[in-house]
Chain A
Amino acid sequence: MEETGTVVAFWLFAIITIGSAVAVAFVRNLIHAVVFLVISFMGVAGLYITLSADFIAVAQILIYAGAISVLMVFAIVLTPQGERRNSEGFLRLPALVLAALMAATLIFVAVDTGWEIADRPGFDETASLIGESLLDKYVLPFEIASVLLLVAMLGAIVLVRPEGAVEEE
């Protein structure tokens, strides 16, 4: 973190991330909130890049900014209550309490943990290392996750299949 460029980049991305995250909560329009959320995701991806975690940074853009955002857009568009504006509703107070508790926990953990600086140098390339450990040490969780996703996908297809679909074919 000594280099000027890294420090500047860190603060820039931190401001982008937190600023747009705040905007997500305060913007009245739900679609605008999704756009701010995407900007926030990209800020997080930038933070990963300053940490030399290039694979995770790109995965963050691909999965969160590219895919999850579209999922949310579909959720908003297809929800009958989607017209309702952001931050209105009876859940406002519980949400505030939950968010405050979450923030308190995270800040407590961040302050309380004795962070140690690792001795070894950074990785040159993280993609192949992640790939190797996923298919070697962590192969079982990896495979279980993929089976779970497949089951979820099939479940979604079965759920939305219209009644007369079988007869049609």
Chain B
Amino acid sequence: MIPVLSRAEVFLDEWYDFRDIGNAVGELQQQITDWGAPDWVPYVTASLIGVVSILLWTILSVLAFIWIERRIVGLMQNRIGPNRVGPTGLLQPVADVIKLLLKEAITTANADRWLFWIAPIAIFIPTLVVFAVIPFGEQMVLADLNVGVLFLIAIASLNTLAVFMAGWSSNNKYALLGSMRTIAMLISYEIIQVLALLGAVLFVGSMQLGAIVQWQVDHDVWLIALQPVAVVAYIISGAVEMNRSPTDIAEAESEIVAGYHTEYGGIKFGFFYQAEYLAGFAITAVIVTLYLGGYTMFGLEEWIPGWLIFLTKLYTFFFVFIWFRGTLPRLRIDQLMAFAWKYLLPIVLINAVLVGGEMLLWQEADLSSSVAIPAFIAVNLTYAVLAVVGWAAMLGHTTPERTAHRAILTREVGTIHYGEAAPNA
């Protein structure tokens, strides 16, 4: 029989224990303190290391995924994808970046110069800040805020104004239409997002992301089993926030040129492009942390570095979003909004109430977690199936709409109107 060594027995958590780079940073902090530096020096050093490594990681991941995504989508669409620059097109992202950097960043004559320059940065920074609260490993988190989940939502909500700034300052009809669509979309799906995350927070009883991962370790269960509906709702609202297909109506080429990207070129467009990827990674990281056990893998994290597990999960899950992009057609804006308000919102609301009831039962009846968790998994899975099947059946009984009804807001924002003449036209 192989003796099971605990993590501490193998490496004693020394600084060279690369399973958690937090050890090395902690050792460095200790050294700096021993040298007699002021209090703030080790703190600032650790923060700088965290910021720089997150920046490096995001840049490298984005570069890698520009190539990976294009190759995968190419495979899905029965074509080759980038294959000219370097072996099998591996240097394509490098070439892209050089092109973006060298290209002239045009500011159109009637643009609001000040906002036009600020907007790409204002979109980029919040998506980067999100990674500060994501635990890459047990000690590898820049700031494990005890309002972590709320922080994620708050930071994501900052994007809305930045998108408006981009659309409005371009002084272009298509840009403004695109940004207005995005705002309508983001506001609607933010509610879904909040209610979906509420389920996980209710189960754990904490908004701290580290505590949520720890809860999943303690109870030997991933929250995806307890929250199947919320995960799906969150993935959908995440796809909306990422602004990628099938929900990229903000830049739907066939309808409004490229939305608020229309007037942007060169490195300013590069910021938008990278922010989009970063938002994708951020959403995936949140899903992995909250619902898929984060940096843990049922004991495997004793042997394999936690950050490696985390990144594996993240990249695997990001593939799902690439899959969406490669296979699903774009939704129309009225369909997307109706889906949020008429379908997803009731489902996640009932889910939140259900979780609240379960937690009340768990605490009041003093159930042991070995009884409660399997029971709740069964109940929630049943609810998930009922919600999806029942709702779809109910929708199926209504007569299908031959012509699109435009919602009031979207009538202002503008969509393609199929079948009948647009009102007041």
Q: Which of A31, A34, A61 contacts B154 (CB under 8 A)?
A: A61
Interface Cβ pair total, 8 Å cutoff: 68
Query: What A residues does B169 contact at CB under 8 A?
Result: 31
Q: Mark A51-71, 1 if CB is under 8 A from B, else 0.
A: 000110011011001110110
Report B60 CB to chain A, min CB distance, Å. 29
Interface centre among B40, B115, B150, B169 (most CB of A within 10 A): B150
Interface centre among A3, A31, A58, A162 (most CB of B within 10 A): A58
Is A81 interfacial (CB 8 A cutoff)? no
Query: What A residues does B151 contact at CB under 8 A?
Result: 58
Bound-complex Cα distance A125 to B206 (A): 10
Which residue of A has the minimal Cβ distance to B206?
A128
Report B115 CB to chain A, min CB distance, Å. 7
Q: Is the CB of A168 within 8 A of B405?
A: yes
Report B122 CB to chain A, min CB distance, Å. 8
Report A67 CB to chain B, min CB distance, Å. 7
Bound-complex Cα distance A32 to B115 (A): 8
Q: Is the CB of A66 within 8 A of B160?
A: yes
Q: Which of B39, B40, B147, B154 contacts A66 (CB under 8 A)?
A: B154
Is B153 interfacial (CB 8 A cutoff)? yes
Which residue of B has the minimal Cβ distance to A4?
B40
Bound-complex Cα distance A146 to B107 (A): 46
Query: What A residues does B183 contact at CB under 8 A?
Result: 70
Query: What A residues does B164 contact at CB under 8 A?
Result: 70, 73
Q: Which of B146, B161, B207, B405 contacts A69 (CB under 8 A)?
A: B161
Query: What B residues does A148 contact at CB under 8 A?
Result: none
* 15 intermolecular pairs with C-beta atoms under 8 Å apart: A5-B40, A31-B168, A34-B161, A35-B118, A54-B145, A61-B155, A61-B157, A65-B158, A67-B187, A69-B161, A70-B161, A70-B187, A160-B408, A161-B408, A162-B408
Q: Is the CB of A127 within 8 A of B207?
A: yes
Q: Which of A38, A58, A124, A162 contacts B161 (CB under 8 A)?
A: A38
Report B196 CB to chain A, min CB distance, Å. 16
Query: What A residues does B161 contact at CB under 8 A?
Result: 34-35, 38, 65-66, 69-70, 73
Secondary structure dominating the interface of B: helix
Q: Which are the 6 A-B pairs with shortest beta-carbon distances?
A: A66-B157, A62-B154, A61-B154, A58-B150, A125-B146, A58-B147
Bound-complex Cα distance A58 to B164 (A): 22
Q: Is the CB of B146 within 8 A of A67?
A: no
Query: What B residues does A73 contact at CB under 8 A?
Result: 161, 164
Query: What B residues does A55 contact at CB under 8 A?
Result: 147, 150
Task: Decide yes or no: A127 and B154 within 8 Å by CB, A32-B115, A168-B405 being known contacts.
Answer: no
Secondary structure dominating the interface of A: helix
Which residue of B has the minimal Cβ distance to A66?
B157
Which residue of B has the minimal Cβ distance to A162?
B408
Q: Which residues of B156-183 have CB atoms within 8 Å of chain A's CB atoms?
A: 157-158, 160-161, 164-165, 168-169, 183
Bound-complex Cα distance A125 to B148 (A): 12
Q: Is the CB of A62 within 8 A of B150?
A: yes
Which residue of B has the minimal Cβ distance to A60?
B154
Q: Mark B313-329, 1 if CB is under 8 A from A, else 0.
A: 00000000000000000
Bound-complex Cα distance A62 to B165 (A): 18
Which residue of A has the minimal Cβ distance to B169?
A31
Bound-complex Cα distance A113 to B164 (A): 43
11 new A-B contacts, CB < 8 A, other than A31-B169, A58-B147, A58-B154, are A54-B147, A55-B150, A58-B151, A61-B155, A62-B150, A62-B153, A62-B157, A66-B158, A70-B160, A70-B164, A127-B147
Report A71 CB to chain B, min CB distance, Å. 10
Query: What B residues does A31 contact at CB under 8 A?
Result: 112, 115, 165, 168-169
Query: What A residues does B112 contact at CB under 8 A?
Result: 29, 31
Bound-complex Cα distance A67 to B194 (A): 14
Q: Mark B112-154, 1 if CB is under 8 A from A, else 0.
A: 1011001000000000000000000000000001110011011
Q: Is the CB of A127 within 8 A of B408?
A: no
Report B252 CB to chain A, min CB distance, Å. 21
Task: Decide yes or no: A65 and B147 within 8 Å by CB, A32-B114, A70-B187, A73-B164 being known contacts.
Answer: no
Which residue of B has the minimal Cβ distance to A168?
B405
Q: Mark B20-48, 1 if CB is under 8 A from A, else 0.
A: 00000000000000000001100000000
Bound-complex Cα distance A3 to B39 (A): 10
Bound-complex Cα distance A67 to B150 (A): 14
Bound-complex Cα distance A169 to B145 (A): 48
Bound-complex Cα distance A4 to B160 (A): 35
Bound-complex Cα distance A61 to B408 (A): 29
Query: What B residues does A69 contact at CB under 8 A?
Result: 160-161
Report B159 CB to chain A, min CB distance, Å. 9
Q: Which residues of B182-207 have CB atoms within 8 Å of chain A's CB atoms?
A: 183, 187, 207
Query: What A residues does B187 contact at CB under 8 A?
Result: 67, 70
Query: What A residues does B114 contact at CB under 8 A?
Result: 32
Which residue of A has the minimal Cβ distance to B160?
A70
Bound-complex Cα distance A70 to B160 (A): 7
Interface centre among A3, A55, A162 (most CB of B within 10 A): A55
Q: Which residues of B102-117 have CB atoms within 8 Å of chain A's CB atoms?
A: 112, 114-115
Q: Is the CB of B160 within 8 A of A127?
A: no
Q: Is the CB of A54 within 8 A of B146?
A: yes
Report B366 CB to chain A, min CB distance, Å. 20
Bound-complex Cα distance A55 to B208 (A): 12
Bound-complex Cα distance A77 to B145 (A): 36
Query: What A residues does B168 contact at CB under 8 A?
Result: 31, 77
